[in-house]
Structure 1
């Protein structure tokens, strides 16, 4: 949708759903919008959300859902990119129960009624792949409403993604080179603020309170267990959540891996193996095991072709370590000199000294571009733009792609133009996991241009 100027802003009814683990993020943005004369609503679904008070008109959906169902077929629901459904099919190898689909329809009926009754104009979602997000998107589309997606920013922790088209590969980021080639770049601004905030007030952000986050999450899981609230997540049990929380609290005390970076290597950052990026934006690579196998075959081809001894350095994703230790994978390569696994090491150093970075579609690719490194992608990504990265559409041809990519000259000017647009035009400056009035004002500014 075309953005409008601030001077053309009209009063709007916003509906906020769920949000990320910082429950204040949507609350703060909504309260800022209310100050400007807009109306804001929030539908809560988790028991833990009831701990957070705000000036927003709020309702707790589980107390209002009836047996009435929204008119939609089971087949249409199953066709939606709903994370819970995908996870059950791909990971748990289970079919989705009729009871679960019925629950979706009941909540859809209530959400649809709420939207109509409160004359909602804009629906704000976080990420967009949760079942609540997906079913609400169906309703919003049918009613001709604007849907706005939020996600963690590309230049963390000081930027936020906000897009009316979608996130990741569905983002509204321009794909034509002519757009970027026409942009002027303030080199000093790019250098000074690519990963730092221009507004110094954001530097005073508070650290995430993991204990509080864990308590809220635990309370929500308890609410689902008692059937007070719907079951929102299938990918994590209570004990897995405890394990994850413990890992997050102790990981910072671990020592970094010892590593020799003098020899040539390709940097291969693993992604969260069960993430939406892999489920929905990776048509060929579905597991990290498959990713390593594909890249190793390509590197062996390169070594044989050019008589080199290039290694692969694999860095596990910190969000995945508590759930997936890759024990069998590491065992398979324990005697290999071609593959090195690490869990903790300075990622900036790993990128800087690498010949290239190969990824499915991780934001590590953006970090690599910021250092003018060669990036090869194997999945769908918004930054799959010719002349900025090398996109390998067919993994079986990665060997040939790698050989040619390493010989190509990097277009630093074009990369800087691309990064400049992302950072200072596309992204919102703010901290998504730390409450901030600056963030709230910036988010409200953006929402007013999209409404």
Structure 2
């Protein structure tokens, strides 16, 4: 079999992605693949320096700044953090320009929304390299491969008719796969009683791409809590929160505050599926829990940008007033 005429860069920004790409290379020996590892891009491109003045890097370093503050409690002045990441983005641009300037016509990348990945995408755009995106699938044991992007940028149709007329060839599983968490202790222990009627509000990870890039008015989980708290003061509903198992952020202050709020509850020891199934509705920023809730025929209200926010399928609330009206 002849080798492919395409010259394809597999750009890895983490060791786990490098191992993933190595498996692809092993399975496709006739493809003209080359794995590029970000941390091993030592050379700088003088040609890239000339292109740098027209490169659009602000979204990349804006993301890095937001991620920095979301992950840390450091009180470093904003202008210093912005200056650091602006310089770092320029340096990475020159590194990645050199790495990709070898006649590639296609590039594969995981996610594509993070700081360094966004810079590589800008280089690919300038060098006219077609980009394809990988990401964990929206359902258990699945993977996304899309030439448009992931999350809100994916190529999934946005018309209700597509889903109404779609006929699956395999039956979906009836059980969700639990996520493995970093902070396992809060998800163990005796289950407290659930309210007889409630709205489920799953937390997400503050520094995830979904929050930093695709949530315009709710920027973190404390803001989400504040929004729900204000609504709860004028509502007869109970609201049940569950922390995200992959988040490393402590919400001890919210647990203390919630003792004064009779219709707000944290229920981390329940499975996400049980919380979905027993709820009246689900409010999410843009979590996959929203999609999972639709599979259980629940009313879903989305506060951020999500590809499944389609008229007739899920509801959108772009501000607090719209949320109240839903």
Q: Which bracket does the TM-score occupy, shorter chain normalised?
A: 0.7 to 0.9
Indicate conservation of the 8 Å contact 1:268/1:314, yes or no: yes
Q: Could you say what secondary structure the match of 1:86 adopts?
A: helix
Choose from 301, 304, 311 the match for 1:386: 311
Equivalent residues of 2:93, 2:120 under 8 A apart: yes
Is residue 313 from structure 1 mapped to residue 235 from structure 2 by the alignment?
no
Which residue of the partner structure matches residue 42 of structure 1? 35
Q: Equivalent residues in 2 for 1:208-227 (5 A)?
A: none
TM-score (norm 1): 0.63
Q: Is the alpha carbon distance of 1:328 and 1:125 closer, same or farther for their aligned partners in structure 2, counting shifts above 3 Å?
A: same
Provide the rounded CA distance (Å) in 2 between the counterparts of 1:280 and 1:387: 25
Instruction: Name the SS for the 1:125 alignment partner.
Output: strand
Cα contact 2:12–2:38 (8 A) shared by 1: yes
Contact kept? 2:148, 2:154, Cα under 8 Å: yes
Mapped to 2, the partners of 1:67 and 1:377 lie a distance apart of 46
Aligned-residue Cα RMSD (Å) equals: 3.0
CA distance in 2, matches of 1:400, 1:352: 23
By relative contact order (CA 8 Å, sep 6+), the higher-ranking structure is 1
Go from structure 1 to structure 2 and tell me whether the alpha carbon gap of 1:131 and 1:191 turns closer, same or farther (over 3 Å shift).
closer
Distance change >3 Å, CA 81–CA 183, structure 1 → 2: farther
2:113 is the counterpart of 1:124: no
Partner of 2:266: 341
The residue that corresponds to 1:114 in the other structure is: 99
Q: Secondary structure at the match of 2:240?
A: strand
Which secondary structure does the structure 1 equivalent of 2:322 belong to?
A: helix
Are residues 88 and 73 of structure 1, via their aligned partners in 2, closer, same or farther at CA, if it must alter by over 3 Å? Answer: farther
Mind listing any 5+ residue stretches in structure 1 that lack a counterpart?
1-8, 47-59, 197-207, 209-246, 304-309, 402-451
| Displacement of 1:255 | 2.4
Q: Residues 189-247 of structure 1, C-alpha deviation per residue, up to 9 Å, x if partnerless?
A: 22348969xxxxxxxxxxx9xxxxxxxxxxxxxxxxxxxxxxxxxxxxxxxxxxxxxx8
2:256 aligns with: 331
8 Å contact 1:78–1:85 — kept in the other structure? no
Distance 1:83 1:261, change over 3 A: same
1:78-136 Cα shifts (integer Å, max 9, x gaps): 2446532333477765234656544433442343233232x211111112123321111
Question: 1:280 & 1:255 partners in 2: Cα distance?
Answer: 32
Secondary structure of residue in 2 paired with 1:128: coil
User: Quick one: which of 368, 390, 402 aligns to 2:293?
Assistant: 368
Whole-Å Cα distance in 2 between the matches of residues 106 and 369 of structure 1?
Answer: 44
Structure ranking higher in helix proportion? 1
Cα pair distance change 1:343/1:20, threshold 3 Å: farther
1:317 positional shift = 0.8
Q: CA deviation at 1:353?
A: 0.4
Q: Is the aligned partner of 1:178 residue 2:161?
A: yes
Change in Cα spacing, 1:193 to 1:72, as seen in structure 2 (3 Å) is: farther
SS at match of 2:291: helix
Distance of 1:19 and 1:252 partners within structure 2: 31
